[in-house]
Chain A
């Protein structure tokens, strides 16, 4: 079945460092890909998305490119801030034949940024 694998955490960086969180997926068909972020005690917020191959999603300085040839959707940010500390989830939409849909999530990567 469809699945998402993302790099294990926790990841600790200094402020203004470059961030990469790796994500690869296994899917039949052409899923949409997402990065969600979860701040402490909160639900999930959509950070960015890409719906087809070579699309680049971007938001708040974060970027990810849908790479079908490598089945990857790595999250990057050029200069992280303390406020970026959160748990990041890579995910794909799994749309069934009846148009039913569910989101399949990776295990999450906890990111901590030191001042």
Chain B
């Protein structure tokens, strides 16, 4: 069974640009969550999508947005990139009928220069 797949693995962007990251969950998982990991702030929850609807959101500015498609694949977008957005972005998927155990992808390493 394939795990959570995130693309791309590495990305370098310039301040002010926008970026889109992609996440394909484990087959059958309909919940997808996104997390930002930085050395200073640790792991912080961005948002969760379930059946194409955002049902939980962390404390991030509106520049961070996401969406989920009918096949449960999810994308997150960051507009007007700032240097502080440099981080490892992790996606996690979970099964709707089981515990809240989440399975993580390998992450996308975003560097803003």
The CA-CA distance from A38 to B37 in the complex, in Å, is 12
Q: Is the CB of A101 within 8 A of B42?
A: no
Q: How many interface residues does A have (CB within 8 Å)? A: 25
Q: What total count of A-B pairs have CB within 8 Å? A: 62
Q: Is the CB of B45 within 8 A of A98?
A: no
Interface size range on B against A: 20 to 34
User: Per DSSP, are chain A's interface residues mostly helix, strand or loop, or mixed?
Assistant: strand
- The smallest beta-carbon distance between B33 and chain A, in angstroms, is 6
- Name the CB-closest residue of B to A96: B56
Q: Which one of B11-19, B60-68, B71-79, B92-100 contacts A?
A: B92-100
The CA-CA distance from A100 to B42 in the complex, in Å, is 22
A60 at the interface (CB under 8 A from B): no
Chain B residues with CB below 8 A from A32, complex form: 99-101
B25 at the interface (CB under 8 A from A): no
Residues 66 to 113 of chain B near chain A (Cβ within 8 Å): 90, 92, 94, 99-107
Encode contact with B along A28-50: 1 for CB under 8 Å, 0 otherwise: 00001010100000111110010
Q: Is the CB of A101 within 8 A of B94?
A: yes
Cross-chain pairs A/B with CB under 8 angstroms, 7 sampled? A32-B100, A46-B104, A51-B99, A93-B99, A98-B56, A101-B56, A106-B42
- Give residues in B with beta carbon < 8 Å to A: 4, 6, 31, 33, 35, 42-43, 45, 48, 50, 55-56, 58, 90, 92, 94, 99-107
